[in-house]
Amino acid sequence: MNQPTELQKLMQHIDQLIEQAPDEATRLDLQRLRARLDSPEMVDLAREMAGHRPADPDNLVLEFHDPLLPSTATALGCVVAAIICLAAIIDGFKNANPWIPGSDITLWVIAIFAGACSAMFTALSFFRTFSVRFDTHGMSSRVIGKRWQRLHVGNMPWKDIRSLRERLEDKVLEVRAAGGRIFELPMRLANYPILRQHLENMVRLYGDRSDTAGVSSPA
């Protein structure tokens, strides 16, 4: 008999909470949470991540990051540099004299320089300034470099999550946990809407019952 997956275990736990809900409002919130976790978007994202990592429950399954440069900038720089490199190589083979008129630079120098720029932009696309990873037990965040070094980061089990608040003045999502602890996540993280939705689901599941939503945004 196949063992239930982590998602199936979570669904079973939510079903138990629905049955034990003290009132209709709480029951509706939990039913909405279950529907959102079972949405095609979340299922597709989980399948995509599963394709890149071994199916080990101890492995972190979701990762969100803030790239050093916007992905559009690194992609455009890489493509433009590659085109210049290719054009210089083609012209270099076509021309008997590859020197650029009025300069000491050859087409081969341009090709080498453009190729190096293409490799540089490719490398820059992998640089991260902030990273947060989710698994079935909790989240782990860390700062890489100086851009977000002022933020509070660390490890938080899901059972300790209490509420969320977006600080629009500095574009930071504030995650409050048990014991007054605060974790801060940049709102410019890649796939931020998915990250926020997942955290909202965890707040509805484990957050303060005095504040059913547990989620707030400045007006």
Taking only the tens place, the pLDDT of each residue in 85-113 is 988 888 878 876 666 666 667 888 888 99
Lowest mean pLDDT among 32-46, 117-131, 158-172, 191-205: 32-46
* Residue at which a domain ends, from 124, 146, 167: 124
Same domain, 25 and 75: no
Question: Total structural domains in the chain?
Answer: 2
Do the domain assignments include residue 1? no
- Radius of gyration of the chain from Cα atoms? 24
Same domain, 138 and 60: yes
At residue 128, does pLDDT exceed 50? yes
Backbone torsions φ then ψ of 158, nearest 5 degrees: -60, -30
What is the pTM assigned to this prediction? 0.58
Domain range enclosing 184: 6-68+127-216
Do the domain assignments include residue 111? yes
Q: What is the CATH number of the domain that holds 33?
A: 2.30.29
Q: Distance between CA 127 and CA 142 in Å, rounded? A: 14
First-to-last C-alpha distance (Å) of the chain:
51
DSSP type of residue 100? P
Chain centroid, CA 191 distance in Å: 5
Do the domain assignments include residue 50? yes
Q: Distance between CA 157 and CA 116 in Å, rounded? A: 44
Same domain, 141 and 202: yes
Amino acid found at 19: E
Residue with the bigger pLDDT between 51 and 107: it is: 107
Do the domain assignments include residue 180? yes
pLDDT band for 213, please (50, 70, 90 cuts): very low
pLDDT score at 182 = 94
Same domain, 100 and 177: no
Q: Distance between CA 154 and CA 93 in Å, rounded? A: 55
At residue 137, does pLDDT exceed 60? yes
Same domain, 134 and 152: yes
Same domain, 37 and 106: no
pLDDT score at 206 = 87
Which are the contacts of 69, defined by CB distance < 8 A and separation ≥ 6? 124, 125, 127
Query: Per residue in 52-76, is it b (16+ CB within 10 Å) or e — as a string?
Result: eeeeeeeebbbbbbbbbeeeeebee
Q: pLDDT tens digit string along 144-200?
A: 888 899 999 999 999 999 999 999 999 999 999 999 999 999 999 988 999 999 999
Do the domain assignments include residue 94? yes
Amino acid found at 145: G
pLDDT score at 3 = 47
pLDDT score at 96 = 63
Same domain, 85 and 164: no
pLDDT band for 35, please (50, 70, 90 cuts): confident
Do the domain assignments include residue 100? yes
